[in-house]
Every structure is written in C-alpha cells, then in structure tokens.
Amino acid sequence: MHRRPVLYLLLVIGFSVGAAGQVPADDTRAAEVIKKAVAALGGERYLNVKTQIGRGKFSEITKEGVVISFRSFVDVIVYPNKERTEFKGQGLKNIQVNVGDTGWVFDGSMEVLRDQNETQIANFKKGIRTSLDHLLRGEWKSKGKVSYVTRRAGALGRRNDVIRLTYNDGLVVDFEFGAADGLPVKAMYTRTNADGEDIKEEDRYAQFIETTGIKVPFVVDHYTNGKMTSRINYESIDFNKSIPDSIFAKPASAKEAKKELKL
C-alpha cells in the first residue's frame, strides 16, 4: 500500500545499502509494535488487501524547495510483486510496469517502448523490501529479522517506537511508529551512490484517512539527506478491485502503450 518502487525509484539509479549500526535484538517488543501498527491500520482488513489502485499527484522538489515536476499518476498494485504506474503531465504519458523479475517502460517524450534493465528491476525489488507493507505483512520473514531499537521524541510532543528490519544480505531499514496510536511515522534506510557516498533516504507518512475500514496515509513525503525531494499526494485509493493481468503485459508497440488504461 505504501511502497515506493515506481513512484520514487524512477528517481534513483541503483543503490547498495550501507552498513547498519549494532543494536540489541528485542524481537518480542518489535513484534508488539508491528501488531499494534497493523491494528491501527485496519487489522485483518489491512492484512487481506490483495490489490490497490491509487490515484493522485506526484511532485519532484529541488533541494531549495522548488517544485520542478508536477504530474498526475495512476498506480496499480497486485501484491506481492506486480505494479503498473502511469504518469501524465505536459501532454505526455510515461509508464513503468514490473512483474517479479521482469519489467518494461514506455517513455512518452521519445515514444519508446523498452524492457527494463537489471538496475531498474533491482531498484523495484529493493523498493518493495524497504516498504511499510512488506514489513507489516511479514513478507520479509525467513529473509531477515526485526529488533526493537528505542523510543524517541517525535513531532509535537509525540513519542515514537523505532524498530529495525535487518535482511540476511545486509539491507537495513528502520521504521518509526507512534507510541500512542501505533500509526506509521517514517521509514529510513541508507544507500551508497555511484561515487561511494552514503545517502540517507526517508519516507514520512501523513494525513491518514480511513478507506473501507483501512487507514491510509494520503501524503507520503520523501527526504534525501534531510531535504524533501518528492511528495505523493493521493486523491483516491481503492482496495481489492479486480485487476486484469493484461495491463501488466508489454504492448506490441508504442501506439498500443499510449492507449487509455481501462480498469
């Protein structure tokens, strides 16, 4: 529900994860925080989400806080590993589709249809692994472990519980949840860029709205090294709608890709 594989990873050209700090493992307390968060988001209704269709606006922002791109989007997810995102802006449409180990993109500015390369597919997979849904639905199990880190001060006098998901291959993601209400606050991880520099990435969740018994953050802001770089602002989210497999298939031509998405 709140992963950013396509919406953010179009902006990131591959990364490897930096080393994690050492913290005492407290699996039981971490499990309690996860359980509380799942309950806050809708319990079994949240856990039983199979598909999601999100519509809204996506903004890219400079380090100076200037919006340089503002596009509408439709994001279609079939859990656990199918996603199609369409962006529209300035009369152009761009599409990115991922299905497990495969994917394709359509560049509307050049009217080019092509398969994704290994880096793009790897980014999609890592985007899933750093996502809130992947943590809360337990899709990481057998591939890593969770531990309780600390309770720290949050915004406006709030306290947040921090838990850490450490994958067997070294990927580390920290998640913060409101200590009082259990709602997700942020997700944080470190990547290493092409120059070998460690870059801190962070998603912040806000404006929770209940939709068919499931609470959803309609605003997701992304920060890089403490500076806001993009915003997802949902206008609507629908769950468990029937999604035809055909929308994930690569079209035969650019002309076919330009056709309106029908759901």
Q: Note down pLDDT in tens along the chain; length 263 residues.
A: 455 545 544 443 232 333 334 444 568 999 999 999 999 999 999 999 999 999 999 999 987 877 778 899 999 999 999 999 999 998 899 999 999 999 999 999 999 999 999 999 999 999 999 999 999 999 999 999 999 999 999 877 899 999 999 999 999 999 999 999 999 999 999 988 888 899 999 999 999 999 999 999 999 999 999 999 999 999 999 999 999 999 999 999 999 999 999 88
- Residue 262 maps to a domain: no
pTM above 0.75, yes or no: yes
Residue pair 97/104 in contact by the 8 Å Cβ criterion: yes
> Cα 133–23–1 angle (5° rounding)?
5
- Residue 69 maps to a domain: yes
Whose structure tokens read 């039983």? 48
- Residue 97 maps to a domain: yes
- Pairing type for strands 214-224 and 198-211 reads antiparallel
- Residue 189 maps to a domain: yes
Domain that holds residue 188: 5-257
- Residue 233 maps to a domain: yes
- Residue 33 maps to a domain: yes
- Residue 67 maps to a domain: yes
Q: Looking at residue 30, which CATH number applies to its domain?
A: 2.50.20.10
- Residue 263 maps to a domain: no
Number of structural domains found in the chain: 1
Tell whether omega for the bond before 80 is within 30 degrees of 0, i.e. cis.
yes
Residue pair 77/71 in contact by the 8 Å Cβ criterion: no
